[in-house]
Structure 1
Amino acid sequence: MDVLQALVEYRAPLWDNGLTTLSEIILGFALSAVSGFLIALLIASSTVLNRILYPVVIVAQAVPKVALIPVILIWFGFGRASNAVIALLISVFPVIVNTLYGLQSVDQRLIDLGRAMSGGRFMIFRKIRLPAAMPSVFTGLKLGMSFATVGAVAGEIFAGSEGLGYLVSSAAGALNTPLAYAAIVVISAMGLILYYLMLWLERRLLPWAAGDRPSGM
């Protein structure tokens, strides 16, 4: 009951800080989607690049992102840009891995058929590899959206001056437990909405692929 009252009483700061967090999530996710796809495409396009870039990706993922927050703050300063970068760093790995899996697991018989029909490398990619990889790409995007939410909120908690994560931290510091829980409820609702928005987009764009698979796979 106290949390419900806090949701009503503090609706203005929850709304304002929620918009801040949402902008950081969307920016971080967009950057991770574009960069993750391009990195996966480079790795999949060449055996040499696979041997060079993939170990770098694995090592980068092994680095605790929390340890990078002070460095990110030095480079980007306090504010939305830093939180968006943290969201990017946390969410880009599943995009890379799932996109790479999709590009590398295309049925070789389809590729051979495309070559037999005098298809060039770009045509095979556009007509065969990319459509076949899209279910895996969307799996990475759905995970990336969830991780971007975590990254943006984590950045706000550690070094933010606005946003829902900052609101949770400041409310907890002031012993305003109802407000802290209300902010957590809003964060959870936002994460669910963004995830199911990606799921809806997948079903709209790939109705042939999304219907028979679990939503998280």
Structure 2
Amino acid sequence: MEFKPVTHVLFDMDGLILNTEKLYTIAFQNVVSRFGKEYTFELKLKLMGTQAHEAAQTLIEALNLPMTVEEFITETKEQFQILFPDTDLMPGAKRLIEHFHKHKIPIGLATSSSEESYHLKVDKHHASLFSLFPHKTFGSSDPDVKRGKPHPDIFLVAASKFPDRPKPEQCLVFEDAINGVKAARAAGMQVVMVPDPQMDKSLTTEATLVISSLEEFQPQLFGLPPFDGN
């Protein structure tokens, strides 16, 4: 596939920068276990990248849980308070973000998380790294993001926060989720996907480029400054 040069970069967060997807799995399973249900990987793929209320609604309907969206969110928040503060960075994330910052490539964060959830995950260990993002968009709490991924809203809103207002084709998105890839493509942007290793490769075909880790990414493919020594 031919890659087109870009000038701006947008990052998803969960499962891409932060290794939180396994924590979401633990939290959701802890809640559904009370009803004798299983939070399967297939269901997880449908939820990844969606806003909190959308994810809760989908899961409740899929597993026929006797609870409201608000009840599910309240219970999972209690789990998150315990699990999220000590989350780890994904391989290659720190190096890539710092590389773009060093070379003055405009970067933004576009996460479906709420601002409250973001602070739970970031403040204890990763505040300095995330301070390199001058613009952050929180899909579950930003009123401008009307619809969650796979709709394009979050990436269009995130791109509009850059002072020079780049066109969609000038933006490169980094994602791990199918819904995120669909959202980026719907926004008219190229997207690099770092999928969960369990994901069937047939589900990754909409991405511009698929890599197994951010450590593999070569910025020069998209007209961005290469890493030192490349």
TM-score, normalized by length of structure 1?
0.30
Q: Say which structure is richer in helix.
A: 1
Q: Say which structure is richer in strand.
A: 2
TM-score, normalized by length of structure 2?
0.29
Q: Based on CA coordinates, which of the two structures has the bigger radius of gyration?
A: 1
